[in-house]
Amino acid sequence: MEFVDNFWFQLVLKLAGILGVVLTGALVVIYAELKIGSHMQTRIGPYYAGGRWGWAQPLADGLKFLQKEDLSPTGSDRTVYGFAPYVVMMATIAVFVVVPFGPDMVGANLDLGAFYLLAISSLSVLGVLMAGWSSANKYSLIGGLRAAAQLIAYELPLVLAVVAVVIQAGTMSLNGIVDAQQQTWFTIGSFNISAPFIIQGQILGFAIFMIAAVAELSRIPFDMPIAESELTMGYLTEYSGIRFTMFFLGEYASMISLSAIAATLYLGGYAVPGVHGNIVNLLGPGVLLTKVAILVFVIIWIRWTWPRLREDQLQTLAWTWLIPLALLNIAIVSIFKVVF
């Protein structure tokens, strides 16, 4: 079994595993959204495809999309139009390279992990703007502009919330951040108490991060870029077939990626309390995915219960509430960190 220890073999296996988990995870989340949404709003939801619970609905949808005609409207910039969905998809997939599923179960343990995450995840703005601009459609253009303005406005509180975590952990490596949450926080008698950052005074940061994350996903209550009642489908209006599927999959994959980031930064990531050594590599993915599932459920829950914000309310929330609060959060965390 010499080839198992081969560096290249392990790397490709890990990355293919991550890609597989992300894509099947996106399908699972699509199904969860259909089911949870229908339960919350007393609708029927999927129940034909695949048998009793309609579990094959996302697969059937995917197959249907593959067989649909891929149109690019007259007057559109074909190269940019065709390329845009893949920019969004790539930006989402590339995020997962640094998300640790276990001490060794990570694509790349970068020293600049948190920085890389923020840089790559904001690349999807580019894809959205490309889609809106190149479609030669009024709805698409306005939707693209709104999306760009929204994504960059909520990027700031997101980044500021992460700065506070980096200060607390003292490192930008995501593995380092998970380790920092296993360090002894304080001791009672002979017990060493450790806690994830959300308990160690980052509750405000976590709230800011999650609100900004929902806005980054352009989901209700922050879905002005898509706002069906006024913009048809926003920057997605002209897309059909496989390219629409890419946007669709990308949206749900980035739901998973943002939840995974939040779980790693605030909820302790893959760590299992009191368990150390090689076994964590085995348990880690399950632990992380459980936390991701809980956060994804909350995001779906918000979508099916809240009304939509107006464009000006949305911008005001980011600039006059979240950014000052995030700065306050940094101040509190850094003062505590330097004093103690």
Partner 1 sequence: MELSDYLPIALMTLLGIGFAVASILVSKLLAPSNPTPEKLAPYECGIVPLQDPVERFPVKFYLVAMLFVIFDVEIIFLFVWAVSYKEFGWAGLGAVVVFMLMLIETLAYVWKRGALEWNVARRQRYRRIVAEGHLEEAA
In this structure, are residues 158 and 213 in contact, taking their beta carbons and an 8 Å threshold? Answer: yes
Nearest in space to 261 (alpha carbons), one of 223, 217, 301, 291: 291
Which residues neighbour 221 within 8 Å (Cβ) at sequence distance 6 or greater? 214, 302, 306, 307, 308, 309
284 to 40, 174, 288, 293: CA distances (angstroms): 31, 14, 6, 14
CB of 167 to partner 1, least distance (A): 5
Contact between 14 and partner 1 by CB under 8 A: the answer reads: yes
Contact between 167 and partner 1 by CB under 8 A: the answer reads: yes
Tokens encoding 263:
């779980």
Tokens encoding 145:
């502009």
Stretch that binds partner 1, among 186-194, 223-231, 239-247, 285-293 (CB under 8 A): 239-247
List, as one string, the DSSP characters of 187-230: EETTEEE---TTTTT-HHHHHHHHHHHHHHTT-TTS-TTT-HHH
In the chain, the amino acid numbered 313 is Q
Stretch that binds partner 1, among 202-210, 219-227, 233-241, 255-263 (CB under 8 A): 233-241
CB of 175 to partner 1, least distance (A): 12
Contact positions with partner 1 (CB under 8 A) in 136-165: 136-142, 145-146, 148-149, 152-153, 155-156, 159-160, 163
Which residues neighbour 100 within 8 Å (Cβ) at sequence distance 6 or greater? 106, 109, 174, 175, 178, 264, 269, 270, 284, 288
Of 54 and 155, which has the nearer Cβ to partner 1?
155
Contact positions with partner 1 (CB under 8 A) in 95-134: 96-97, 107-111, 115-116
Contact between 324 and partner 1 by CB under 8 A: the answer reads: yes
Contact between 323 and partner 1 by CB under 8 A: the answer reads: yes
- How many other C-beta atoms are found inside a 10 Å radius of the C-beta of residue 43? 10
Of 232 and 281, which has the nearer Cβ to partner 1?
232
Tell how many helices (H) and how many strands (E) occur in the chain: 13, 2
Tokens encoding 39:
């339960």
Of 47 and 83, which has the nearer Cβ to partner 1?
83
* Residue 26 half-sphere exposure toward CB, CA atoms < 13 A: 24
Site string for partner 1, 52-81 (x = CB under 8 A): --------------xxxxxxxxxx------
Contact between 11 and partner 1 by CB under 8 A: the answer reads: yes
Of 169 and 210, which has the nearer Cβ to partner 1?
169
In this structure, are residues 231 and 142 in contact, taking their beta carbons and an 8 Å threshold? Answer: yes
Contact between 242 and partner 1 by CB under 8 A: the answer reads: yes
Contact between 94 and partner 1 by CB under 8 A: the answer reads: yes
Of 37 and 73, which has the nearer Cβ to partner 1?
73
Of 134 and 182, which has the nearer Cβ to partner 1?
134
Of 140 and 264, which has the nearer Cβ to partner 1?
140
CB of 93 to partner 1, least distance (A): 5
How many residues touch partner 1 under the rule CB under 8 A: the total is 78
CB of 275 to partner 1, least distance (A): 26
Using CB under 8 A, which of 194, 200, 281, 316 touches partner 1? Answer: 316
Task: Report how far residue 171's alpha carbon sits from residue 177's, in angstroms, rounded to the nearest whole number.
Answer: 7
Contact positions with partner 1 (CB under 8 A) in 286-315: 311-312, 315
Of 168 and 182, which has the nearer Cβ to partner 1?
168
